[in-house]
Amino acid sequence: MKIQVFESIEALAEASAKFIAEQAKAAFAERGQFDIALSGGSTPRATYSRMALGPFSNTIPWPRVHVFWSDERCAPPESPESNYRMARETMLQHLPIPEANIHRLQGELPPQEAATQANRELAAHSGEGIPSFDLILLGLGEDGHTASLFPGSAALKQSNELISANYVTKLDAWRLTFTSALINAARQILFMVSGESKAEAVKGVIEERDPALPATGVQPAPGNVAWHLDQAAASRLSRQTLGD
């Protein structure tokens, strides 16, 4: 587990863009492909905007990159709620990625139908079995949720699907989410977390390994976990954890 703390969201975005580019370079060198799953919410916006600019926009072989989402709101792609819309506006519309390589979760469909379609599309791209994403981006909620794996939600116990429809009681809303099985098959995970409101959850996951927090369950067997935090989100971590 590699933890880096940044003084601003701009510094976090610059480092995260570099990290993504490094993962892409290694993936293309080793496997000739780069499959990435984007996270949603607001924290990744700065990183996605940075990716759309040089040198990242012109050094990564974007026409060969495949883009997925680690979760999505059950809302149409044009909705302000849509994680797809956020990524398209900040990054994807500025990069030469073929439409066929953009595998959005179809939030406009009934939730279970969208999950069935997403699993079908993932299998069509990756073949049968549990695919190992080169990089999965994740955020962290104040309650320790990640992707749309919320505490107490059914998808946390899902073992038959890789992408599930998940009803989130506290939001009174359906979400689509990668399940733990798919997340934990990743070669590399990058958490990007900002804000004081996440500091307790960051401590709970990184230091206390609290099993009640879904993000604690992110322990990829073949891969590694990196954390990019701003100072506020890292403010409850011990000096020992931070290697100070």
- Contacts with ligand 6PG by CB under 6 A lie at 39-43, 71, 73, 83, 139-141, 145-148
Indicate the residue among 83 and 164 with the shorter CB distance to ligand 6PG. Answer: 83
What is the rounded distance in angstroms from the CA atom of residue 70 to the CA atom of residue 198?
Answer: 19
| CB of 51 vs ligand 6PG, minimal distance in Å | 16
**CB nearer to ligand 6PG: pick between 71 and 161:** 71
Min dist CB 145 to ligand 6PG, Å, is 6
Collapsing DSSP to helix, strand or coil, 184 comes out as coil
Per DSSP, 155 falls in state G
* Residue 33 or 195 with smaller CB distance to ligand 6PG: 195
What stretches of 106-213 adopt beta strand conformation (E)? 135-138, 163-168, 173-178, 188-193
CB of 41 to ligand 6PG, least distance (A): 3
Supply the angle between the helices 44-51 and 83-90 in degrees, to the nearest 10.
Answer: 40
Q: Which is nearer to ligand 6PG, 140 or 183 (CB)?
A: 140
Strands (E), 47-124: 65-69, 71-73
Nearer of residues 26 and 173 to ligand 6PG, judged by Cβ: 173
User: How many Cβ atoms from other residues are within 10 Å of residue 196's Cβ?
Assistant: 12
Amino acid at 119: N
Q: Whole-number minimum distance, CB 25 to ligand 6PG, in Å?
A: 25
Nearest residue to ligand 6PG by CB is 139
CA distance 185 to 77: 27
In the complex, the smallest distance separating the C-beta of residue 2 from ligand 6PG, rounded to whole angstroms, is 19
